[in-house]
Structure 1
């Protein structure tokens, strides 16, 4: 590969990664809003007015914790409904951690191996973590977020809290 081809490949990888990372932010924000709505509409929205500012102030991690509390309180342990909520919350925690790494790291491109590189931690620190992604792997992150959003919608429709 010539240096010009390598440069063009790097630019194409960066553009594709930037698009996928931007899409990830959109997908995650959709989940965040729908999770918040799920929490304020607990008990059929009976406390909508008082819950809205409280839920709005919560971090995403705390919103997941609140959802887990409501599911534990309202759904019988071992039930299909409870298992569905617990599974969704577990998957969402994994996606949340990955999103945090993707958002808080710095990015580079390794065009010779067609990899997008995420480096977490300061260059002056000992605890840097390097994670390489292919474009397909970044795309899979978005597919999982889309799946999680659809599943949350199903949970809210079929088994509202």
Structure 2
């Protein structure tokens, strides 16, 4: 990838004013302490990557808030303890729990359940990305115009794995994630519970 993405990011920062993104502010602190000298192009690249990663985290955060609201609406005297346990579980288990609770509700239209099941399959495809984006470690490989995501696993699991993204690839992942999260909101609007 050429430096076009970095140049565009720099122009965007210029239009917004002099204040750079989080990456620039972090670099400024290190530079003030005399510990880091990062070229401006690398700062702009990092700011662009940080913005995309931040948008991914916010998209998942909005989704999880809406999932929590749905869980709250599904509470009945009969399933209250089960739903309370779901709040403490992983995202995948919470989604499966919602599907289970929905399936137990005889009054729901079968189309509602089928749409949720279809959406869940799409979410399963991006849910692991959520873990990588939220819990993984990130590095900037400015010389290669790439962002490296390293996922850590428990000691007995396979070694860390790394995925490298260009800014365009990172944007594509963001688009995919936003589409799936928006699908949940659209489902909720079609099927108010």
Place the TM-score, normalised by the shorter chain, in its bin.
Answer: 0.7 to 0.9
What TM-score does the superposition give when structure 1 sets the normalisation length?
0.75
Counterpart-to-counterpart distance in 1, 2:103 and 2:78? 19
Counterpart-to-counterpart distance in 2, 1:81 and 1:130? 38
Larger Rg computed on CA atoms: 2
Kindly indicate whether residue 93 of structure 2 is the aligned counterpart of residue 62 of structure 1. Answer: yes
Runs of 4+ in 1 over 6 A off after TM superposition: 45-52
Kindly indicate whether residue 122 of structure 2 is the aligned counterpart of residue 91 of structure 1. Answer: yes
Gaps of 5+ in 1: 1-5
Secondary structure at the counterpart of residue 150 of structure 2: strand
* Cα distance, 1:54–1:126 mapped onto 2, change above 3 Å: closer
Larger RCO of the pair (alpha carbons < 8 Å, separation 6+):
1
Q: Report how many residues are paired.
A: 152
* Cα distance, 1:47–1:137 mapped onto 2, change above 3 Å: farther
Deviates more, 1:50-59 or 1:139-148: 50-59
Counterpart-to-counterpart distance in 1, 2:106 and 2:173? 30
What TM-score does the superposition give when structure 2 sets the normalisation length?
0.64
Gaps of 5+ in 2: 1-37
Higher percent of residues as helix: 1
Kindly indicate whether residue 90 of structure 2 is the aligned counterpart of residue 31 of structure 1. Answer: no
